[in-house]
Amino acid sequence: MYLERGSQTSRSPVAFIGTPGIYTWSALPAAGPVRGIQVFNPQYSIAVVYDRVYRIDTAGVATDIGAVDAAVTPVSMASNGTVMMLVTGPNGYVIDAVAGTVSQITDPDFLGGDTVYYIDGYFVVNVPGTQKWMISQLLGTDFDALDFASAEGSPDLLLSLLVDHREIWLFGETTTEVFFNSGANPDFPFERIPGAFLEHGCAAKFSPAKLDNTVYWLSKDTNGQGMIMKASGYQPVRVSTYAVEFDIAKMIKEFGHIEDAIAFTYQQEGHSFYVLSFPTANKTWVYDVGENLWHRRCYRNPVTNNKEMIRPWNQIQFANKTIVGDHENSNLYVLDLDTYTDNGDRIPRIRITPHIVDADNKMQFFFSLEVCMEVGVGEVTGPGEDPRGVLRWSDDGGKTWSPEMVRSFGKVGEYETRCRFPKLGKARDRVYEFTITDPVKIAIVSAISNHKVGIS
């Protein structure tokens, strides 16, 4: 769930809204993850699955148009409106979606690339394992060995690049610098912007992403790593919280790295989200720009019941839909707020309350807890016909939990239902966990605890 602030006339100042579900838009034939998706023009988008390249029309009909090197790692793509360039790290390809062709770049002056963007008539790529980045010929796809520059403000390697507002952001291991098209040198028109040097680099090459008129990324510098930054002008501003950073630090300690973190961004019903997944740790954190708040999202594996990173790991806006690609299989999904499952699998909606503690640490007697939410939203038939909330609680700081209590929050049309849990015992320190897995609309506005403080 994510939080949404209400108006002054709302019943509650905030509400918890269920995150969007997904349904299959196009099931691509190849086996493997969707390594990348990119809009080519209003008629076609391009998707890469393992070693196959697909052209997809607005109806989701896919045509296999060629091959790239076989792998399961992400690719990067950029279009100039006529052709698209795709880089996989060691190799590059040129895609003509109209003609339906994929051609490998054999130019000896092309040295590979992890990320590619298009700006002012040039394709720009970083050269893996170096400080260098290169530009293509103007309005073309050929490269010249002399058309390169280096991120030389610091000796760290250049990991990634991104184009935003016609500026090239060059993310090194511990520093970042920004170039622009000055036009002063017709052979290589890009120059460093004076003063645009950030002493925060990048911990994961696929974490930088554009959102809300600025740039976000997973940061690393000479003092450490694991904060999420956004750019305010040319200054890094921390947007992650201690809780998020604590969890990222746990990932580093357990798995040894976070360099495979990958981000995508999207906007839906006024909310702008930076979605950061950690494939090795199998987790996803999401930042809501408008609310300046973080929340966790997860896919609950129906076989193991484990909570994993969400299915999508890349995104495009195409055919008036938010299209996302699966990180394990070849499905393209629609990310949709009116869909309440992960392509048929139930989504856990979990809210854990703050600690309920008396100021003098006195014993408290809990008579009931009522969850105030949109009720009567059950489905007519099938799963979700009689949606229920599940409550459990902990009296020892989350170390152990009570048995579960289950209450309905209304079949369809039962708008006066109260989701109320009675006779909840006593505790000095009470924490509640409320969970919904039924595939229905979720909007929780508040919870009312009826309890009394004892004399000692």
Mean pLDDT within 214-235: 97
pLDDT at 101: 97
For residue 29, the model assigns a pLDDT of 96
Residues 340 and 372 in one domain: no
Strand order in the sheet with 44-49: 34-39, 44-49, 52-57, 62-67
Question: Is the residue at 2 inside a domain?
Answer: no
412-429 CB burial, b ≥16 within 10 A, e <16: beeeebebebeebeebbe
Rounded to an integer, what distance in angstroms lies between the CA atom of residue 46 and that of residue 52? 10
Are residues 278 and 394 both part of a single domain?
no
22 closest CA partner among 334, 277, 323: 334
pLDDT score of 187: 86
Q: Is the dihedral of CA 317, 43, 48, 135 positive or negative?
A: negative
Confidence band for 79, pLDDT divided at 50, 70 and 90: very high
The tokens of 76 are what?
């990067």
Q: What angle do CA 171, 107, 70 make, to 5 degrees?
A: 70
Model confidence pLDDT, tens digit, residues 232-284: 999 999 999 999 999 999 999 999 999 999 999 999 999 999 999 999 999 99
| Dihedral in degrees, nearest 10, Cα atoms 434, 439, 442, 444 | -20
280 token code pair: 């090795």
Question: Is residue 12 one of the residues assigned to a domain?
Answer: no
Quick check: pTM over 0.85? yes
DSSP per-residue letters across 190-240: EEEEEEEEES-EESSTB--EEETTEEEEEEEETTEEEEEEEEETTEEEE--
What pLDDT is recorded for position 276? 98
Is residue 3 in a domain?
no
User: Token pair of 271, please?
Assistant: 């909310």
Residue 35 is predicted with a pLDDT of 98
Q: Are residues 402 and 327 in the same domain?
A: no
- Answer yes or no: is 86 within a domain: yes
Q: What is the pLDDT of residues 185-213, one digit of tens each?
A: 888 999 999 999 999 999 999 999 999 99
Closest residue by Cα to residue 413 from 442, 372, 379: 379
- Would you call 101 helix, strand, or coil by DSSP? strand
Number of domains forming the structure of the chain: 2
Task: Classify residue 5: in a domain, yes or no.
Answer: no
DSSP state of 254: H
**87 in the same domain as 117:** yes
The encoded tokens of residue 137 equal 């010929």
Domain CATH code at residue 274: 2.130.10.10
139-170 core/surface letters (b: 16 or more CB in 10 A; e: else): eebebeeebbbebebbebbbbbbbbbeebbbb
Average pLDDT of the residues in 160-169:
97
> Please, which pLDDT band fits residue 34 given cuts at 50, 70 and 90?
very high
Could you give the count of Cα atoms lying within 13 Å of 154 in the half-sphere of its Cβ?
Answer: 21
The per-residue pLDDT of the chain, averaged, comes to 96
Burial of residue 242 (CB within 10 Å: 0-12, 13-18, 19+) is exposed
Which domain range does residue 424 map to?
A: 350-453
Whether residue 394 is contained in a domain is answered as yes
Among candidate residues 321, 346, 371, the one where a domain is terminated:
346
Position 181: which residue type? N
Same domain, 252 and 315: yes
Q: How far apart are CA 330 and CA 243, in angstroms?
A: 33
Which of these three, 346, 376, 392, is where a domain ends?
346
- DSSP assignment, residue 416? T
Closest CA to 45 of 69, 28, 29, 68: 28
pLDDT of residue 225: 97
